[in-house]
Amino acid sequence: MKFLGLLFLLFTGFFFIPAHSQDTFSIVAVDSITGEVGSAGASCVDLFNTGFTDDSFLGELFPGVGAINSQAYYLPANQANARARMQAGDSPSEIIEWLQANDVEGRPQFRQYGIVAMVNGSPQSAGHTGASTDDYKNHLLGPNYAIQGNILLGQEVLDSMEARFVREEGDLACKLMAALQGANMVGADTRCSSNGSSSLFAFVKVAKPDDSFGQPSFKVSVRTRNGARIEPIDSLQSKFDAVHNCKTSGSTGLNLSNPNIRIFPNPVEGQLNLELEHENHEDLVYQLYDITGKMMIQDDFMNNTRLDFSSLNKGAYFLKITNGDQVHFSKVIKN
């Protein structure tokens, strides 16, 4: 019976996938300011020897809602169940609890998940790393992100991914790419030590709120062959840079054409002034977010509005002003 099972796996081309964990290191994240959701990951699996045509198959994006990465002894049926729970409106922690209780093989201890979603206007994250997932394994959670990995060189891979993600000041795509660069070390997935690389394939994808499910507006990926000794994260960075500029991307890319808004002083220490060049400001609403995407303030926008920053911690904040379908983003620095 074991022999017949082995023949089946070899015949279908999935021998490496079910027998080993994957994706080895990955991240899911939401940007509560822009509404974007994203996923990125990499693994030492030679996808040329599998039936997968999409290098980013294990990450699913739900535009305007959240994202799920399913990995470690990956099973499409578990991923489908996670998808159904997200579409049913479950929170990240509720999805994790459901998956643990309803694993299709009854082996949740072998699985790993990272999930993020917007819940009642605020980001939430949850993760699961089964006790029987291959070492080294762990996951890290932030307010708007989940980072997870298995078969890792060590905790330093996850820590470096988190540090690079948090430090990057660009948009969500830039932050996800930075997180992968944090794992750009030989043997990040220990199976790739002999290949002189971190992994064999890598991807980044981001969906905007108005994207269709399964059709993210931004996606780049790279797959390499085992033995080629190519670093896929470096190759991915080249493809990424050819289509996306992180030096100018930030969260200030959209602007209201009318009315003209003045926000000063910036940087600010005490009081931030919001003024309109024109008096017509009907239906304007402003929201202030911290760097993690947590909404600090929400109110109707009135001309000559004053925001008190004196009690806020130093760092970057984002001011979102909306008028119907028009949106204005401004990055505000508190000294």
Phi, psi (rounded to 5 degrees) for 36? -75, 150
pLDDT (0 to 100) of residue 195: 95
State pTM to two decimals: 0.73
pLDDT (0 to 100) of residue 297: 87
SS3 state of residue 19:
helix
pLDDT in tens, 216-262: 999 999 999 999 999 999 999 999 999 998 875 443 333 443 346 77
Look at the alpha carbons of 129, 162, 335, 264 in this order and tell me if their dihedral is positive or negative.
Answer: negative
| Residues in the chain with pLDDT values less than 70 | 1-23, 248-260, 277-282, 291-293, 324-327, 329
Helix residue ranges, H only, the chain: 2-12, 16-19, 76-87, 92-101, 155-167, 172-182, 232-243, 246-249
Cβ atoms of residues 30 and 144 within 8 Å: yes
Cβ atoms of residues 69 and 326 within 8 Å: no
Query: Which residues, 6+ apart, have CB-to-CB distance to 239 below 8 Å?
Result: 220, 222
Which residue bears the tokens 């000559």? Answer: 304
Q: Which two tokens stand for residue 286?
A: 């402003």
CA dist 145 and 29 (Å) reads 4
Q: Which residues pair with 211 in a beta bridge?
A: none
SS3 state of residue 208:
coil
CA atoms within 13 A on the CB side of 173: 25
CA dist 100 and 211 (Å) reads 30
CA dist 50 and 53 (Å) reads 8
Cβ atoms of residues 70 and 113 within 8 Å: yes
Phi, psi (rounded to 5 degrees) for 86? -65, -45
Angle between helices 232-243 and 172-182 (to 10 degrees): 160
Alpha carbon 260 to its chain centroid, in Å, reads 33
Which residue bears the tokens 């980001």? Answer: 123
pLDDT (0 to 100) of residue 280: 56
CA dist 86 and 95 (Å) reads 7
Cβ atoms of residues 11 and 50 within 8 Å: no
Alpha carbon 118 to its chain centroid, in Å, reads 13
Query: Which residues, 6+ apart, have CB-to-CB distance to 311 below 8 Å?
Result: none
pLDDT (0 to 100) of residue 330: 74
